[in-house]
Amino acid sequence: MKNSDFYTFRGYRIKDEKLLSPSMEDYIEMIYRLSIEKDIVRVNNLSEALNVQPPSITKMIKRLSNDGFVNYEKYGSIKLTEKGIEKGKFFLFRHETIYEFLELIGVKENLLEQTEKMEHAIYEETLEKISNLIIFLKNNIDFNS
């Protein structure tokens, strides 16, 4: 392993351009969450849920719409496309898996915040391995005592 195999965080995102940015992931995940709870999602709801001001929501929704994750027209309601729903499902599953994992190993402080930060950094293979690990740990519940 040479030192030059390293990249900065940003470097990885640029290198691997098919990835959604963490923010895009957050938006899609939250739209998905919200659309389970209520049948209409608006700029408003997202703004509150993500603690981001409305103009920023508008801007990002345009981008997501452009990239085909969302159907949206001005002043309307926000609907995930098929592609968006797929992503949303995955992001929510990923979130819940990480949350459960952290809880299980005994993380107490800022559990939600820790999950939110971490989830964007987890690749699919890793998620799978963590899923397996959760099952194992649940059958060996004394591991943390």
Partner DNA sequence: AAGGAATTTTAGCCAAAGCTAACTTTATAT
Partner DNA sequence: ATATAAAGTTAGCTTTGGCTAAAATTCCTT
Q: What is the dihedral of CA 34, 38, 44, 50, to 10 degrees?
A: -20
Residue 74 binding target from a copy of itself, DNA, none, CB below 5 to 8 Å by type: DNA
Cβ at position 63, least distance to a copy of itself in Å = 13
CA 17 vs CA 62, 65, 110: distances in Å: 19, 18, 31
Q: Does 42 bind DNA (CB under 7 A)?
A: yes
Q: What is the dihedral of CA 21, 24, 30, 36, to 10 degrees?
A: -110
Task: Give how far the C-alpha of residue 134 lies from the chain's centroid of Cα atoms, to the nearest Å.
Answer: 19
Q: Does 15 bind DNA (CB under 7 A)?
A: no
Q: Does 11 bind DNA (CB under 7 A)?
A: yes
Selected from 52, 77, 89, 92, the binder of a copy of itself by CB under 8 A is 52
Closest CA to 78 of 62, 96, 94, 99: 62
Closest CA to 28 of 20, 38, 17, 16: 20
What residues numbered 72-111 form the site for DNA, per CB under 7 A?
72, 74-76
What residues numbered 47-76 form the site for DNA, per CB under 7 A?
47, 51-61, 63, 72, 74-76
**Binding footprint of a copy of itself on the chain (CB under 8 A):** 1, 3-12, 22-23, 26-27, 30, 33-34, 48-52, 102, 105-110, 112-114, 116-118, 120-123, 125-126, 129-130, 132-133, 136, 140, 143-144
